[in-house]
Structure 1
């Protein structure tokens, strides 16, 4: 039962954070961000927010700094939009799975090209 609730809360946080970051944030350090997932602990005290950022490593670092700086704003706005007794602490992490998947696809393509020649 608790896993279902944490999943629903995670999806709602993901939806609201995506909207907040795209429309409400004015920080120039924050570039194009996609919230790819949110993992919420079973006691709803922490939420790991997985992000995909368009750009190089320098832009990713600047985006992460901007989000850490805006953590309080995001939590307060999230509290207004999602009806929870305690809004979880937000921990931002980069989602490496997209880059990993594209790297594997590229390697498989290279192997296919070698077999054809």
Structure 2
């Protein structure tokens, strides 16, 4: 169970990182990237970022590009949240395909 502080920092990271990624066309490679969830560890040293990716060269390719720019994204995030946390968390990125599953189920139900 996440503490209130973990949830608050997770929501802040989700909001700020989403804005940073949307304003960086080199990072998204023309795809629409949405941060769906951020889980922060109890010591605030690691943030697991789940994202959905639409369009572009492919989900795995966009994920690879984002991982290559991880340090720049962490720096930009640090500039925004440095007054709220002592340690800027390391970022781990994962593809969240729950939206694809929901869409697939919805299409099956419509048939």
Normalising by structure 1, we get a TM-score of 0.83
| Largest Rg, 1 or 2 | 1
Offset of 1:31 from its aligned partner? 1.9
Offset of 1:55 from its aligned partner? 2.6
Question: Which residue number in structure 2 is paired with residue 71 of structure 1?
Answer: 70
User: In 2 relative to 1, CA 106–6 (structure 1 residues): closer, same or farther, beyond 3 Å?
Assistant: same
Unaligned runs of 5+ in 2: none
- Count of equivalent residues: 108
Measure the CA separation in 2 of the matches of 1:24 and 1:82.
18
Question: Which residue number in structure 1 is paired with residue 32 of structure 2?
Answer: 32
Normalising by structure 2, we get a TM-score of 0.87
Q: Structure 1 residue runs of 4+, over 4 Å off?
A: none
> Are the counterparts in 2 of residues 49 and 92 from structure 1 also a CA contact under 8 Å?
yes
Question: Which residue number in structure 2 is paired with residue 104 of structure 1?
Answer: 105
RMSD: 1.8
Unaligned runs of 5+ in 1: 111-117
**Larger fraction in helix:** 1
Matches within 5 A, 1:1-117: 3-27=3-27, 29=29, 31-55=31-55, 59-83=58-82, 84-110=85-111
Offset of 1:45 from its aligned partner? 1.3
Measure the CA separation in 1 of the matches of 2:28 and 2:101.
28
Measure the CA separation in 1 of the matches of 2:31 and 2:53.
7
